[in-house]
């Protein structure tokens, strides 16, 4: 059965009307949508403010990774020139980005906040070798900044609040800790501020609920370190 012949014209009317509406598309890649505060992107291996590496080669991140894309080897620190404040350091560290699903479980497992994620997600490769980031690429530079590799498109803000979820979450879900800093300072940034605006209506926690930290930021409460 033939339809209404005016349906055809009405279809074009919809198209014509859209010509005068605001465009919803962005001029990507020249313009980008705002970065979500807790976006999970390319990892970084952090260093303490004194330049020492945070990774102690414990392999917990590799053990928890559901995609099995992390490979870590630890070694004893050279006594006369230690790389990390612990007994050991991660002398091999690799992440295979052909497999990583950016779940951040590695970040959650890490006892020293060595591995976190930036917000950079625009990186692509032309070969498998480039997709496997090694310690040389993941470790932040002497200025504390992530290394900018030729195939990565870093924009301002991609390194703000690195792994912001970690900086926003109360240890063990205890609301008294929301917004309270319980992580170590980082080379180039110092102690990063927690994410604001989570629970503004909560009263201040009692002072004895606040974590205390040693020189490298390890809080003295059992349980969560984030
Ligand atoms: S973000 Fe998830 S998948 Fe990627 S390396 Fe970490 S644990 Fe593995
Ligand atoms: S990044 Fe963290 S969890 Fe992974 S080996 Fe280093 S210290 Fe351990």
Ligand 2 atom with minimal separation from the 57 CA: 5
| pLDDT over 80 at 149, yes or no | yes
The arithmetic mean of pLDDT across residues 151-165, rounded, is: 85
% of the chain surpassing 90 pLDDT: 50
Burial of 190 (0-12, 13-18, 19+ CB in 10 A): exposed
The arithmetic mean of pLDDT across residues 145-165, rounded, is: 87
State the sign of the Cα–Cα–Cα–Cα dihedral 131, 135, 140, 142: negative
- Centre of ligand 2 to C-alpha 61, Å, is 5
For the chain, give the number of residues: 226
pLDDT digits (tens, 9 = 90+) for 49-78: 999 999 999 999 999 999 999 999 999 999
Q: Which ligand is located closest to the Cα atom of residue 165? A: 1
31 vs 44 pLDDT, higher one: 44
pLDDT digits (tens, 9 = 90+) for 21-36: 988 887 888 888 888 8
| pLDDT over 60 at 216, yes or no | no
pLDDT digits (tens, 9 = 90+) for 170-188: 655 677 777 778 788 999 9
- Judge whether 139 and 131 are in contact, CB under 8 Å: no
pLDDT given for residue 64 in this prediction = 97
**Closest alpha carbon to 168 in 159, 157, 181:** 181
Find out whether the beta carbon of 65 lies less than 6 Å from any atom of ligand 1.
Answer: yes
Ligand 2 atom with minimal separation from the 113 CA: 2
Q: What is the mean pLDDT of the chain?
A: 83
Write the Ramachandran bin of 193: left for phi over 0, alpha for psi from -120 to 50, otherwise beta: beta
Q: Whose CA is nearest to atom 6 of ligand 1?
A: 106
Task: Read off the tokens for 92.
Answer: 């091999």
Q: Whose CA is nearest to atom 4 of ligand 2?
A: 61
């Amino acid at each position: 059965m033939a339809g209404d012949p005016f349906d055809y014209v009405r279809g074009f009317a919809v198209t014509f009307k859209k010509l005068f509406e605001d465009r919803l598309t962005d001029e990507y890649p020249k313009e980008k949508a705002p970065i979500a505060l807790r976006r999970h992107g390319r990892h970084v291996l952090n260093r303490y403010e004194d330049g020492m590496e945070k990774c102690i080669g414990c392999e917990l991140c590799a053990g928890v990774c559901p995609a099995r894309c992390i490979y870590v080897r630890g070694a004893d620190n050279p006594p006369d020139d230690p790389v990390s404040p612990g007994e050991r350091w991660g002398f091999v560290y690799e992440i295979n980005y052909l497999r990583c699903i950016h779940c951040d479980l590695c970040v959650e497992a890490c006892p020293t906040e060595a591995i976190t994620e930036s917000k950079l997600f625009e990186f692509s490769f032309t070969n498998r070798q480039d997709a496997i980031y090694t310690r040389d690429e993941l470790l932040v530079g002497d200025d504390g900044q992530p290394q900018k590799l030729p195939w990565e498109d870093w924009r301002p803000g991609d390194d703000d609040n690195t792994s912001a979820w970690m900086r926003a979450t109360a240890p063990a879900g205890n609301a008294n800790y929301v917004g309270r800093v319980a992580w170590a300072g980082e080379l180039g940034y110092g102690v990063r501020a927690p994410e604001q605006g989570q629970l503004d209506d909560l009263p201040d926690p009692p002072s004895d609920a606040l974590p205390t930290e040693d020189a490298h930021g390890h809080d003295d409460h059992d349980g969560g370190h984030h």
